[in-house]
Amino acid sequence: MKHEDPFASMFEKAIMAINSRYIPGSLEYGRRAFPSIYGEIEWLEKHLNKIWMRGSENGHSLRDFRNILRRWYQLHLTLIEKYKKQGKHSREVGTELDITV
């Protein structure tokens, strides 16, 4: 019986939630207009990868991963919302993320 990777499951849910709200061009806009937010997204991605690769060793836990993933998710939504406020997009950007496993 195969056991699902809880880190992968949470990350997939976050990606699917972002994709459902994504407005093409928003990340590129965020990289140019809000480099500190974009930089934090990149830093969080690296940190998520480190925790994911190490699993629960070295004191890392699913809780740590979930907290960082929520921040990463929120920052994506922030950039999408800022892009939307440029006036060219009417798509609603919800903020809830259910990443329970």
Question: Tens of pLDDT along the chain (101 residues)?
Answer: 566 888 999 999 999 999 999 999 999 999 999 999 999 999 999 999 999 888 766 566 888 999 999 999 999 999 999 999 886 555 554 545 555 54
Let me know: does 80 contact 67? Beta carbons within 8 Å.
no
Provide the pLDDT for residue 57: 64
Provide the pLDDT for residue 27: 92
Provide the pLDDT for residue 89: 59
Rounded Cα gap, residues 2 and 38, in angstroms: 36
Provide the pLDDT for residue 88: 56
| Closest C-alpha among 47, 43, 65 to residue 56 | 65
Q: Is 101 helix (H, G, I), strand (E, B) or coil?
A: coil
Rounded Cα gap, residues 95 and 89, in angstroms: 17
Provide the pLDDT for residue 5: 86
Provide the pLDDT for residue 4: 80
Provide the pLDDT for residue 96: 52
Provide the pLDDT for residue 86: 84
